Structure 1
Amino acid sequence: MPDRKNATTTQAGVLRPDQLAQYVDLVRLPCAPSLEPWVENYWRLQWNLPSGTSYRSSTLPHPACTLSVEHGWTREGVTEPVVVTGVLTHRFDVVLAESGWVFGVKFRPGGYASFTGTVARTLRDVPVAPPTPFRSETVAALAELGGHLEVDHCRTVVDAALAPYTRDVEPEYETVLDVIGTMLGDRTLIRVGQVEDRCGIGTRRLQRLFERYVGATPKWVLGRYRIHDAVRDLDDGYTGSLAELAARYGWFDQAHFTREFTELVGVSPGTYQL
């Protein structure tokens, strides 16, 4: 099994991260080495806002599923503390108010389907799903976590709860990770055909693998990574022209870039840059 300490995701996603940090405390943590083939990282989100104060957190979609434990102020649709969020193809908005605590397991692209034996396509655009692939004792152990516990203790509990589900990694899932790694490692690849040539994989097989494991098409994943790159640059204070930014990440014209950016982010790149 190849080393899977390497990232299979971009570090972008949270819109206006500096603003979010004024309202919540976000911590990312590593998982146990035995879980690294499937899990990208853990994260803990905690907030305690004054009465009458709220904040809308917006996140761009990643091609990955999340298992989360949520207590306190919860998002729409959450009625039990342990839930699964599938791959979302749209911006993910959550209004935060009062006090709340979330501990999330961010799986790698395809990782949740491989880890649980499910088909990722069935979870596409499902923001809240029950954790049915996991045994009742696993769900019960996770539900006991909360803000009263140290974050490192929570990490240890989650490591132990998920450890019984580890298995041999399927070659097809390993292929998905290799394709994702190629997409992330060479940002000059802007068309799926280029990725197929680089990875030596046919169109129909790639589409089948992504539907089974990722839940979204290769074209969608590649496009999301390009938007993530552009948003990250803007958040980092990019001051160049938008035409140059569009060309940097493979758009042939600024109008096309503006349209795709606006559809996903909700505002134009010029407005976001302000």
Structure 2
Amino acid sequence: MPDRTNPPQPPVAAPTATFAGILRPERLAEHVQLRRWPASPRVSHWVENYWSLRWDLPEGASFASEVLPHPTCSLTVERGDHPRPELAGEEVVVTGVVTRRFDVEIRGSGRVAGLRFRPGGLAALTGQSAKAWTNRTLGAGPIVSEAIVAALAALDLAGDVEAGTGAVEDGFPERAAQDARYHRVLRVVADMLEDRSILSVADLERRHGVSARTLQRDFLHYVGVGPKWVLARYRMHDVVEALDGGFDGALTDLALQHGWYDQAHFTRDFTALVGLPPSRYRRAK
């Protein structure tokens, strides 16, 4: 008979995010120390990785950090001379999926540490809908457990942040719930990342045997945005990564390779998200 008191844990998911998205990462590295480290098996059902930022700029200096965010929620503790206005006095916050370019002006000194959830991970953990967090930064108290909030607030951001993440993990459930819809979201997202030939939701329907309507419903609940948006964002990450890596071919070829059917639509989408046309972005490198 199966052991119903200790059901098997769901398998650890394949990677569901990359480290792409930072515009001109070499410039960020001149001003900000960025660290990333993997989540432990204890929480990896929900969490993709941990990360931290620290900076100490001289008085009067500043740097505009620009990021094309992932379809993920983050849980962070943030301290500094010039806190983000959207924190509204909170130190431990949840930031939902951001559908636009994420801009932060780096000034003075600051420290940030946090968890990047898998797409849908925070909704699966809390049972809440990610739609409520899209394009919002909220105090974490009403969303995650008091134990997680307290452990994040207690992190020594000036010291060894990684050493304190065990206490954060202690606030997570011992076992993940069996959630077939969340597992399907993870499989679909992992497929988007693994196979660059997937360029449309119709491709996902055929490969996973699920309707576009079901995918839309599941993604809106767990991720906070639809599957078409997620796929387009990952492909835009690929485009920016190629340009940052020195791609010097025709932009029309780059657009076609990543799912755009003509350069006009590609240029429009790139400009709307990044803030300047791809030709200018490449020249500014």
Do both share a fold (TM > 0.5)?
A: yes
Q: CA deviation at 1:239?
A: 1.1
Question: Once structures 1 and 2 are overlaid, which stretch shifts more, 148-157 or 35-44?
Answer: 148-157
* Residue of structure 2 in register with 1:9 after alignment: 17
Q: Does 1:70 align with 2:51?
A: no
Q: CA deviation at 1:4?
A: 2.5
Write the distance in 2 (CA, Å) between the matches of 1:149 and 1:169: 37
Q: Aligned residue pairs: how many?
A: 273
Amino acid aligned to 1:106: R
2:274 to 260, 265, 268: 265
Q: CA deviation at 1:128?
A: 3.7
Q: Does 1:123 align with 2:133?
A: yes
1:140 to 147, 150, 161: 150
TM-score by length of structure 2 reads 0.91
Q: Secondary structure at the match of 2:196?
A: coil
Q: Does 1:223 align with 2:218?
A: no
1:21 to 29, 39, 52: 29
Q: Secondary structure at the match of 1:118?
A: coil
Write the distance in 2 (CA, Å) between the matches of 1:221 and 1:42: 21
Deviations 1:140-184 (A, max 9, x none): 2211213232132133332233x3375224111001001111111
Matches for 1:1-274 after TM superposition, within 5 Å: 1=9, 3-4=11-12, 6-72=14-80, 73-78=82-87, 79-161=89-171, 163-164=172-173, 166-274=175-283
Write the distance in 2 (CA, Å) between the matches of 1:140 and 1:29: 21
Note if contact 1:35-1:166 (Cα within 8 Å) is conserved in structure 2.
Answer: no
Amino acid aligned to 1:206: L
Structure 1 pair 60–165 and aligned structure 2 pair: CA distance change class (3 A) = farther
Structure 1: stretches of 5+ with no match in the other structure: none
The alignment's C-alpha RMSD in Å is 1.5
Q: Secondary structure at the match of 2:205?
A: helix
Deviations 1:194-248 (A, max 9, x none): 1111110012211110111010011111111110000000111111111111111
Structure 2: stretches of 5+ with no match in the other structure: 1-8
Write the distance in 2 (CA, Å) between the matches of 1:9 and 1:71: 26
Write the distance in 1 (CA, Å) between the matches of 2:217 and 2:13: 26
Q: CA deviation at 1:261?
A: 0.5
Amino acid aligned to 1:4: V
The percent identity for this pair of structures is 46
Write the distance in 2 (CA, Å) between the matches of 1:202 and 1:167: 26
Structure 1 pair 137–160 and aligned structure 2 pair: CA distance change class (3 A) = closer
Note if contact 1:115-1:166 (Cα within 8 Å) is conserved in structure 2.
Answer: no
TM-score by length of structure 1 reads 0.95
Deviations 1:92-150 (A, max 9, x none): 10111100000010000000100111101111111344431223343222112132321
Write the distance in 2 (CA, Å) between the matches of 1:54 and 1:146: 25
Note if contact 1:29-1:43 (Cα within 8 Å) is conserved in structure 2.
Answer: yes
Note if contact 1:71-1:146 (Cα within 8 Å) is conserved in structure 2.
Answer: no
Note if contact 2:155-2:161 (Cα within 8 Å) is conserved in structure 1.
Answer: no
Q: Secondary structure at the match of 2:86?
A: coil
Structure 1 pair 262–131 and aligned structure 2 pair: CA distance change class (3 A) = farther
Q: Secondary structure at the match of 1:33?
A: coil
Note if contact 1:57-1:96 (Cα within 8 Å) is conserved in structure 2.
Answer: yes
